[in-house]
Structure 1
Amino acid sequence: MPQIIFIDHAGEKRPVDAAAGSTVMEAAIKNGVPGIVAECGGACACATCHVYVDDAWKEATGEPSHMEEDMLDFAFDVKPTSRLSCQIKITDAMAGLIIHTPERQG
């Protein structure tokens, strides 16, 4: 079971165990990670699970789909590493994945 490290806007780290095949959003919600609201429950229909993928993990998590890019238009403070956590599928190769949560959701 890969471990994902969530880092909030103040720099506090929260490591969580995540099941391969689940999404980063599901791991965050299951483990009570603050800053991930996920109002749509993972349907890529809102931007309340917006996160920043650490630069070192950008390639491993892939590029956002066109639908995800459209939803990111509704997120607050979008950056080049912005993703919707509901769209990042966890694999065993993602052990140690670092995800930064924004100060607030849009």
Structure 2
Amino acid sequence: MARITYIEHNGTEHVLEVASGLTVMEGARDNGVPGIEADCGGACACSTCHCYVDAAWVDRLPPKDPMEADMLDFAWAPDPVKSRLTCQIRVSDAVDGLVVHLPERQI
């Protein structure tokens, strides 16, 4: 288990214990965190699970693979450094304490 903090665009925080082996997206989806749509179900085929990782975590996470980097081009207001797809961040003890910020959704 790892503690993940999801911060909505409006500042609402959701601090969750997420089981190892799941993704950060699955942790949000399974616990009803608004702001992560995950239209593709975690196949890295959309950008609806886009988040911004806290600056302290940018270098602590595995680097983006080329497919994730390509999909982030379709995200709303991506940040070249802090943007990640939550479906591509696997939960383990190494991400205990991770903080992700959810972008404002544009409809």
- Give 1:10 deviation, angstroms: 1.5
Q: Secondary structure at the match of 2:84?
A: strand
Cα pair 1:49 1:105 within 8 Å, conserved: no
* Per-residue Cα deviation, 1:5-53 (whole angstroms, up to 9, x for no partner): 0011121111011011110000010011110000000000000000111
TM superposition shift of 1:70: 0.6
Task: Determine if contact 1:52/1:99 at 8 Å carries over to the other structure.
Answer: yes
Residue 97 of structure 2 is matched in structure 1 by 96
Give the share of equivalent positions with the same residue, in percent.
Answer: 54
In structure 2, the residue matched to 1:50 is: 50
Q: Distance in 2 between matches of 1:60 and 1:91?
A: 12
Q: Counterparts of 1:43 and 1:73 in 2: how far apart (Å)?
A: 16
Uncovered stretches (5+) of structure 2, i.e. residues with no partner: none
Once structures 1 and 2 are overlaid, which stretch shifts more, 38-47 or 55-64?
A: 55-64
TM-score of the two chains, using structure 1 as the length reference = 0.94
Task: Point out where structure 1 has 5 or more consecutive residues left out of the alignment.
Answer: none
Asked if 2 retains the 8 angstrom alpha-carbon contact of 1:35 and 1:105, the reply is no
Q: How many correspondences in the alignment?
A: 106
Normalising by structure 2, report the TM-score.
0.93
